[in-house]
Structure 1
C-alpha cells in the first residue's frame, strides 16, 4: 500500500485517559483549579481604612443658582472603612470609592451640615462599612465686597531713639478689599494691623504686617478674606534725625557778570527745626527758587510753603517763610520798545513757514547797574522763540503761544524783568 493510501489516525479519548502520563497531568490541573476556587470562596474577609480627599465644590448646583457661595474649608479628607475578601483588600484604593456631597440640601442662607455620601463605585467586590465625617459644615450666603482702609495699631508710642523722630508711616497697600458672606461683611467695623516695635528705632525700618477684619468690639470676624494687590503687606516707618536747618532760596537764571553779593536776601525765619532722613546730606531747608526775571529794583517779596519741603519734615510750627530779595539802589531799569517783526524764530520745522503775529507787550523792561543801563540801545536787546517740537509730539499747524527769550548784548550784569510771550502762526509751505 502506498504512503498516500495509509489510513489517518483518529483521536481516542479512551487512550488519552488510560495513558498514565496524560492522566497525571489532567489530575494536577484539576486539583489546582479546585484549590483556587475553594480558596476564593472560603477566603476570610477583612477591613481596610482608606483616606479619600474630597474637594468642596458647589458650582453648577442649586446653591450656585440661588446666588449663594460656600464659606468654609475648600477641601477635606473622608476616612472610609471598607470590608472585602482578604486577597482583594490590598488592591482597593481611594480611586475605587465614590465620595461626594449631597449639594441639593442647601437652599437657604446660614450654617448647613451637608451630607456626605460614600459608595463602592462600579465595583461590587467590597462594601462600605463606615466613614467619617458624615457631613460637611459650611456657611452659605450671598457674597459681598467692600473696600476699607487699614488702621495701624502700634504697641507703643515711644518707638524711636533719642535725637530721632518718626516720619509718616507708609503702607505699600493702604486699602484692602473685604470679601465674604454679606451678613459677616456687614459686621466688619474696621481693618486693623498690629505693629509691634520692641526696640527703639534709629533708622528707617520696613516690617511685614498681617491685617485682620474686626467688629465694633475688636473681635475678629469669621469667614472674611482680605484681598490686596501686593504679594504681602509691608509698612515702612521713616526715621528722621532732628536738625536745625537754615532756610535758603536759590537765585536762578542769573545773568553773566552779575555781582550776586549786591543782591541781598532776608528770611522771616532764619532756621527751621526739622527731621532729616538718616544718611542724607541735607544741610539746609531749601524753600525753592527765585528767578531773576521776577526781580526789579528795590524789595521783592516771595512767600514759600514750608510744610512740604523735599527731603525734610518740619517739626516746629513753621508753615510759611517770607523771603525778601533786595536789588540795590545803584541798579535801575529801562524800557526798550519791541515789535513782533523783531522776534527771531529758531528751529522752524522743515517744510513749514512761521511768523510772529503779536507780542504780549510792546516793550521789554531791562534791569541792571546804572552804568550798564545808561548806554543800552534797542539794538542790544534781541528776542527769539524756539519752535523745536517736544519728543513724541507731532507738528501742528495754526496759531500758538510761545515763550520769548530776551538776550542782552554789551550790557554786563543786566536781565529782563517780566515774562514775555509771542503769538506764532505755523503753516505748511
Structure 2
C-alpha cells in the first residue's frame, strides 16, 4: 500500500473515533430531551367502596386503558416503565346515570406529561334495588301411566332479589324446576332457584335470598270417568227426538284411590234448558266429589242439544205421517244476532253495550209448509222498543211483524236483555 493511501485511511479511522467520543460525551454529559408514548396504560378505579355505601353499582366500563406521551432527559425516559405511570379516576360522589369522569395522571418527577388520551371516560351508574317476586313451580319429564300430580306447595313462596335496577327488572320469572320422571309417590325436594328473563335465559348476576326452596307435590292415581248430563227443566215439545251430547264424553280425574274406585260417572251441574234451547250449546261445570280433581283444570265441558224437528233454516213436519200423507203445517226456526234486531227509540246520548246484551235470539214459526218454505228470516223484521229506558240493564219484549197464516210458536229467550250506557265523549 502506498504511503499516501495509508495516511488517508489513518485519518478516516481517527475521525470516526473522534466522532464516537463526541457522541458519547453528548449522550452522557449533555443528555438531550426526548419524547416517548406509552400505550394501553391501565386506569385505576379509586373509591369504589364509596359507591357501594351509596347503593350505587358501576355498570360500565369495567376497565379502561389510555395512551400517555411523556418528555424528559433521555436517560430518565429510557428507564421509565409502564408501571411508573399512574392513571386513575375518582368514583366517589356519583349518582345514578351516565357521568363523565376525568382521568388523572401521575408520572415520576423527572419526566413531564406531554399529552394523554382519552382525558375523561363516560361511566354508567345504576342504583341497587331489592324486589320480592313469587316462585313458580315447574315440572319436567313424564309421569308413569295412571298417575297425576296434585297442586304443589313451595316454601318460601317468594324470594328477595337484589342488584342493579336493570338486572333486577330483567328477571321475568323465578322458577323452581322439579323432574317428575318415573315418580309414583309424593315428591319432597329441596330445589335451587332459577331466575329467567323474557327469552327464558338465566339471569345469573342478581343476588337472591334464599337460593333454594322446599317443594312438596302430592301424587295421585288417575282414571278416565264418563260424564252424565243433568238438565234443569224439560225440553220443549217442538223438539222431536232430541239428542243431547257432551264433549268430551269422559274426563281424566285424580284423587284418592278409594273414592276413584266408587265412581261410575261424574254429573254435570244442572243445565238450564232455557239457555240450552236458546244457544244450542252450553259450557258447563262438573260436580266433582270431594277429594277428586280434574287432571286438566282448564278442561272445557260443552253440552249440545240437537233435534230432528227444528233445525236452523230447515223445515220439519209438526205432526206424524198419516195415511201416507204429510201434514201441511210445519215448524221453522230462525236465529238472529243482536245486530240483526231493529232498535227503536234509543235515548239521546245512550249507546247499547252489545257485550252485555243478549247475543242470540231464536224465533220458532208454525204455518203452512209451502208458505214457510218461501219465507226468509228478513221477513219477520224483529225489533225492540227502548222508549223511556235510561242507562242500565233492561229486559224488553221482542216484537215480530205479523205475517199472514203464520204463528209465532216460541221466542227464545222470551225477553231480550239490553244494556244501555252513556256515550263517551271525546
Decide: shared fold, TM above 0.5. no
Using the size of structure 2 for normalisation, the TM-score is 0.37
Using the size of structure 1 for normalisation, the TM-score is 0.36
